[in-house]
Amino acid sequence: MKPDQISVRLNGEALEVARGSSLDALLASRNIAADSMASARNGEFVARSARSACLLADGDEITLFMPIVGG
């Protein structure tokens, strides 16, 4: 791994991303339609509006899933 990179997992897949990357940037780099997915970092829900401020750290586990709606 390069010094300016960190290692994260996205739905179990190991990835290297630039240090200082946001969750939003990660999703964009993978061409993921983020508006249709819910997200969590290390088991903690991350709202869509908070993704750009959610900076990734080495070892983070990112999970994307379909939101459950209904009543």
Predicted pLDDT at 68: 75
Residue 67 has pLDDT above 90, yes or no: no
Residues paired with residue 66 on neighbouring β-strands, in sequence order: none
Domain-embedded: residue 60: yes
Domain count, the chain: 1
Tokens of 47: 């709202």
Task: Check if the beta carbon of residue 48 is closer than 8 Å to that of residue 33.
Answer: no
Average pLDDT across the chain, whole number: 93
pTM for the predicted model, two decimal places? 0.88
Instruction: Please write the tens of the pLDDT for every residue from 43-52.
Output: 999 999 999 9
Q: Where in the sequence is the domain holding 45, given as residue range(s)?
A: 5-65
Distance CA 39, CA 16 (A): 18
Find the CATH number of the domain harbouring 58.
Answer: 3.10.20.30
Quickly state the pLDDT bin for 71 (edges 50, 70, 90): low
Domain-embedded: residue 19: yes
Domain-embedded: residue 70: no
Instruction: Please write the tens of the pLDDT for every residue from 8-17.
Output: 999 999 999 9
